[in-house]
Amino acid sequence: MTAAQASRPRPVSRREVFRRFLAEKRDPEPFYEGLVERSMHRFPFSLEGATVLDLGSGPGHFSRAMAAAGASVIAIEQDERSLPVAPDGCQAARGDAESLPVRSASFDGVFCSNMLEHTPNTEHVFAEIERILRPGGWAWVSWTNWYSPWGGHAITPLHYLGAERGLSAYRRLFGEPKGHNIPGRNLWPTSIGGVLDQVRAQAGLRLIDAVPRYYPSQRWITRVPGLREVATWNCLLLIERKEPST
């Protein structure tokens, strides 16, 4: 842990974040505030003076936290309704994660929280991350993998029947799912094994670590095919942009 990390106030507990998660649909702000606190408390990369892209920023909870930690942040969100009101140190723009409207090699870091499962072609996202990062830059990428207990979002737990069958069964039992995180519309099955293969296929990226986001000390889970797809809940990847070969 760095001195800067050690000086940060202790974040809310995992148990408290889970309690807030259970109430997220009716009262989302406390959950996201707790999630930001825990994510930033021991953030593994330096933010002071860094130029960071918050990819799939939503309303900007993490953008604001990274700006407060000294980063210059550009928040990219495809849904105009979710674009954040940018605080000092931030800019906000609409953009597609598979074809980003930014220059190559223009960022020190990419932060991407819970966006990957909402993208149909995740391999394009990692190609863009490789393109826009400067050599030596980093990417922090997390997502809710499909076979985790919450992987089906609006149709959970019927997603275990598969995207199409699960959605069909949900409609028969409960009617049309509420919200916009619906399979085939704004949610696609995304596995840990498949995503790890995509990262490793990018010649300019190096996978530093893969851990369960909410209990990172149990990183061994992500090394066990099958088990990791169910037990991880939310997978976090730490990635480095390789230096050019000489």
Query: Are both 110 and 59 inside the same structural domain?
Result: yes
Mean pLDDT of 140-155: 95
Query: Are both 171 and 213 inside the same structural domain?
Result: no
Query: Are both 136 and 242 inside the same structural domain?
Result: yes
pLDDT tens digits for 163-180? 999 999 999 999 999 877
In this structure, what CATH number is given to the domain that contains residue 240? Answer: 3.40.50.150
Write out the residue range of the structural domain in which residue 184 sits.
154-188
Q: How far apart are CA 29 and CA 104, in angstroms?
A: 34
Residue 65 falls within a domain, yes or no?
Answer: yes
Task: State phi, psi for 148 to the nearest 5 degrees.
Answer: -70, 165
Residue 46 falls within a domain, yes or no?
Answer: no
84 burial level (CB within 10 Å; 0-12, 13-18, 19+): buried
Query: Are both 222 and 246 inside the same structural domain?
Result: yes
3-state secondary structure at position 75: strand
Query: Are both 162 and 241 inside the same structural domain?
Result: no
Give the dihedral of Cα atoms 56, 61, 63, 69; nearest 10 deg: -150
Q: What letter would DSSP give residue 234? A: S
Angstrom distances, CA of residue 177 to CA of 157, 169, 210, 240 = 12, 11, 32, 38
pLDDT-derived band at 38, boundaries 50, 70, 90: confident
Residue 178: what pLDDT? 85
Residue 160 falls within a domain, yes or no?
Answer: yes
Residue 21 reports pLDDT greater than 90: no
Structural domains in the chain (count) = 2
Query: Are both 65 and 180 inside the same structural domain?
Result: no
Residue 217 falls within a domain, yes or no?
Answer: yes
The model carries a pTM of 0.87
Q: How far apart are CA 228 and CA 214, in angstroms?
A: 13
Whether the Cβ atoms of residue 37 and residue 12 lie closer than 8 Å to each other = yes
Q: What letter would DSSP give residue 102? A: S
Three state DSSP letters for 163-213 = HHHHHHHHHHHHCCCCCCCCECCCECCCCHHHHHHHHHHCCCEEEEEEEEC
Query: Are both 71 and 162 inside the same structural domain?
Result: no
User: Mean pLDDT score of the chain, rounded to an integer?
Assistant: 87
Query: Are both 68 and 159 inside the same structural domain?
Result: no
Query: Are both 195 and 217 inside the same structural domain?
Result: yes
Residue 208 reports pLDDT greater than 90: yes
Query: Are both 71 and 160 inside the same structural domain?
Result: no
Residue 11 reports pLDDT greater than 80: no
Residue 78: what pLDDT? 83
Residue 217 reports pLDDT greater than 70: yes
Residue 34: what pLDDT? 63
90-94 and 107-113: which strand pairing? unpaired
pLDDT-derived band at 36, boundaries 50, 70, 90: confident
pLDDT-derived band at 5, boundaries 50, 70, 90: very low
Angstrom distances, CA of residue 91 to CA of 27, 104, 166 = 27, 18, 39
Residue 8 or 118, more confident: 118
51-55 and 72-77: which strand pairing? parallel
Residue 9: what pLDDT? 56
Residue 4 falls within a domain, yes or no?
Answer: no
Residue 24 falls within a domain, yes or no?
Answer: no
Query: Are both 160 and 240 inside the same structural domain?
Result: no
Residues 6+ apart with CB under 8 A from 235: 142, 143, 145, 192, 195, 210, 211, 212, 213, 222, 228
Query: Are both 59 and 140 inside the same structural domain?
Result: yes
Residue 175 falls within a domain, yes or no?
Answer: yes
3-state secondary structure at position 64: helix
Residue 208 falls within a domain, yes or no?
Answer: yes
pLDDT tens digits for 109-140? 999 999 999 999 999 999 999 999 999 999 99
pLDDT tens digits for 58-108? 888 899 899 989 999 999 988 766 666 665 668 888 889 999 999 999 999
Residue 12: what pLDDT? 61
